[in-house]
Structure 1
Amino acid sequence: MLNSLLSLKTLAKAAFATLGTCLVLAGPAHAAWPERPIQLIVPFPAGSSPDILARTISEPLAKSLGTPIIVDNRPGAGGNIGTRYASHAKPDGYTMLLTINGPMVTAPTLYKQNLGYDPLTDLAPVSLLGTSPNVLIVPKNAQANDYQGFIKWAKGNPGALNYGTVGPGSSAHLAMAMLEHAEGIHLEQIPYAGFPQIITSTIAGDLHAAFMVPGIAMPQVDAGNIKALAITSLEPTALLPGLPTIASEGPADFEAISWDAIFVPAGTPQEIINTLNAEIVAILNTDSVKEKFKTLYFDPVSSTPEELHELVVNEKARWDAVIERLNLTLQ
């Protein structure tokens, strides 16, 4: 009888050990991630600079993760609509957001109403992707051929010139508002759904000026369809040789840099965030992606999630001061 009991105990122990092994192998629900396609929200239209960056990194990221990455364009309100959509998605690792500084930094301060998301609490940072100055562009037949000529043109036609933006609160809007304040000029803002439409209207002469990402603007500049007058970084860049900075031609502290970054809904498991960060950093360091970013006039710049969070916090503080000084508010 004793031997029988011992045999039963031994069998029971073996059964529990086997069950425990199965449980360990099964692991938490997200251990097998990713098991299905991942949605990459871009809050700007197809053909825009963020869209091109999204499609540049989505292919190698899909390959490294072993699952399709579906780019989902949700434009409108200067990027706020798509950003809000992503912030309310299920935090399970199957929704990412590629957005720019406007919706993450300036929009929450500029708009009086609740945007439906808080960039610091509703979205979790993954990695910075890159930075780029904006380019001041005008039609090819514009009276201005350089920055000082543009200021003279604007001062000689107060209120008669207009400029294009991808929406109130965008970096293009704030950059021009800052320039208007510094130079004592006034232009009428014309909002568009995306950068390609701004280019089309500038080529047609319907727009007199715009601050534009160089990846969209420079091919048209090189083709002779529009003119580029200056850039918004404090220092010249090898990406745009021959173009002076506004800081060197006008207000000495003028700077308005665009950046793109990846975020996920807050609450996404940290191990998924860490995996995405590691894969994105590796992709940004490949020669093929570096070369593609160069053709877009973007410097590929990665970060840790913590560094991206710090960037958002610091940029928000800097632009909040600008918005307050210019007394800017949006409905």
Structure 2
Amino acid sequence: MKLLRLALAALFAAAFTVHAQDYPSRPVKIVVPYAAGGGVDAAARLVAQHLSGTLGQNVIVEPKPGGGTLIGTEMVARSAPDGYTLLLTGGSTMSLLPLTHPGKLPFDPLADFAPVGVVSRIPFFLFSSASTPYKTVKELMDAAKGNPGAMAYASNGVGAMGHVGTEMLLQSAGAKMTHIPYNGFAPALSDLVTGRVVMVMADLAPVAGQLQARTLRPLAVASSQRSRFQPDVPTLEEAGFPGTEFEVWLGLYAPAKTPPEIVTRLATELGRFLALPATREAFAKLGHELGTGGPDAVRQRIVNEQKAFAPAVRAAGLSNAK
């Protein structure tokens, strides 16, 4: 019986090796667990267009929104590990959801996926209304410490990256504010401009109009380096709050146990795509910086972010553990 099992395993491995050598022999699908038409969908279509040309097969994008990215992500986790069903999702799917839904996810971010690489990074900024007197993060945090809970900040939803990032900042500053979650950035920005809330963490795409009208003031960028889109805006570390850095980022994944040859080929093609000057400009139009790092870098980023986010998730009461 043992010999039979070993023989079957060898045949199975050999079959996958043959398939890997012929890959791809039919269209490839990139599942996006967000609604069509958004920034993630647009990024996925740029990747798909490039891979279609280099792989010699059509690469299509299939939006599969719902469940806070759970539906599309689980679909890929349960797909055949043959390289024909891929996932492009935000880093929060892998880094934040395991903390807010401990033991309840239908997938394990590290065990059920074979990372391909980081696609892009979306810098988040801390904004206040231009009508407020706060010109630095320190001034704003000092005001919050002087009035615990009296000031309010906005986010685009409970458990969103902007929510967790703001809680990280407040913990670092020793300040307390009231959190007001909104259904998206548009209503949050309206209340920010009118003064109902004093700050919000958001990417540049939804605030373009307010920045052009100079009704918002960017105080800091939450990433570890300054953004080329707003080079005069300091990082949170430069503003005096180290250890509060975070980035929204997009990664490409295959199901776990996808043959290493296929993952390596996809990672190589993705790296070539991201090295093109035209790619940099195409992603800049989306408000994205290009990503760097292959499979190992993605895994390490997930591990590091889970450690960094855990205290903020606990302090904000975001864990759904029972």
Alignment match, 1:204: 190
SS of corresponding position for 2:22: coil
Residue type at the aligned position of 2:188: T
Indicate how the Cα distance of structure 1 residues 72 and 210 shifts in structure 2: closer, same or farther if over 3 A, else same: farther
Residue type at the aligned position of 1:91: P
Alignment match, 1:165: 156
Deviation at 1:146, TM superposition (A): 4.5
Residue type at the aligned position of 2:242: A
Contact in 2 for aligned 1:78/1:166 (Cα 8 Å): no
Structure 1 residue corresponding to 2:271, chosen from 274, 281, 285: 281
Residue type at the aligned position of 2:124: N
Contact in 1 for aligned 2:155/2:180 (Cα 8 Å): yes
Q: Does 1:129 align with 2:115?
A: no
Rg (Cα) greater in structure: 1
Residue type at the aligned position of 1:110: T
Aligned Cα root-mean-square deviation (Å): 3.1
Contact in 2 for aligned 1:139/1:205 (Cα 8 Å): no
Q: Does 1:105 align with 2:95?
A: yes
Q: Does 1:74 align with 2:85?
A: no
Indicate how the Cα distance of structure 1 residues 108 and 140 shifts in structure 2: closer, same or farther if over 3 A, else same: same
- Give the gaps of 5 or more residues in structure 2: 1-16
Deviation at 1:29, TM superposition (A): 4.1
Residue type at the aligned position of 1:79: T
Q: Does 1:300 align with 2:290?
A: yes
Indicate how the Cα distance of structure 1 residues 307 and 112 shifts in structure 2: closer, same or farther if over 3 A, else same: closer
Contact in 2 for aligned 1:203/1:225 (Cα 8 Å): no
Alignment match, 2:280: 290
SS of corresponding position for 2:228: coil
Contact in 2 for aligned 1:105/1:312 (Cα 8 Å): yes
Structure 2 residue corresponding to 1:186, chosen from 171, 177, 191: 177
Alignment match, 2:81: 91
% same residue: 24
Matches within 5 A, 1:206-221: 208=197, 209-218=199-208, 220-221=210-211
Deviation at 1:225, TM superposition (A): 5.8
Deviation at 1:226, TM superposition (A): 4.1
Contact in 2 for aligned 1:215/1:298 (Cα 8 Å): no
Is the deviation greater in 152-161 or in 260-269?
A: 152-161
Q: Does 1:253 align with 2:243?
A: yes
Is the deviation greater in 259-268 or in 304-313?
A: 304-313
SS of corresponding position for 1:116: coil
Task: Tell me the TM-score normalized by structure 1.
Answer: 0.77
Indicate how the Cα distance of structure 1 residues 191 and 85 shifts in structure 2: closer, same or farther if over 3 A, else same: farther
How far apart, in 2, do the equivalents of 1:158 and 1:244 lie? 26
Is the deviation greater in 145-154 or in 278-287?
A: 145-154
Alignment match, 2:234: 244
Alignment match, 1:117: 107
Task: Tell me the TM-score normalized by structure 2.
Answer: 0.79
Residue type at the aligned position of 1:36: R
Alignment match, 1:22: none
For 1:19-53, what per-residue CA distance to the aligned partner results, in whole angstroms no more than 9, with x for missing partners?
xxxxxxxx834543323332212222334432232
SS of corresponding position for 1:251: coil
Contact in 1 for aligned 2:127/2:219 (Cα 8 Å): yes
Deviation at 1:232, TM superposition (A): 0.9
Alignment match, 1:43: 33
Deviation at 1:262, TM superposition (A): 0.6
Is the deviation greater in 314-323 or in 300-309?
A: 314-323
How far apart, in 1, do the equivalents of 2:271 and 2:157 lie? 28
SS of corresponding position for 1:28: helix
Residue type at the aligned position of 1:43: P
Deviation at 1:259, TM superposition (A): 2.1
SS of corresponding position for 2:18: coil
SS of corresponding position for 1:246: coil
How far apart, in 1, do the equivalents of 2:124 and 2:59 lie? 29
How far apart, in 1, do the equivalents of 2:53 and 2:157 lie? 32
Deviation at 1:246, TM superposition (A): 2.4
How far apart, in 2, do the equivalents of 1:203 and 1:191 lie? 10
How far apart, in 2, do the equivalents of 1:102 and 1:147 lie? 24
For 1:208-261, what per-residue CA distance to the aligned partner results, in whole angstroms no more than 9, with x for missing partners?
343222344446523546443321124433332221222233423321122221
SS of corresponding position for 2:96: helix
How far apart, in 1, do the equivalents of 2:169 and 2:63 lie? 31
Large movers: runs of 4+ above 6 Å: none
Indicate how the Cα distance of structure 1 residues 325 and 167 shifts in structure 2: closer, same or farther if over 3 A, else same: closer
Residue type at the aligned position of 2:26: R
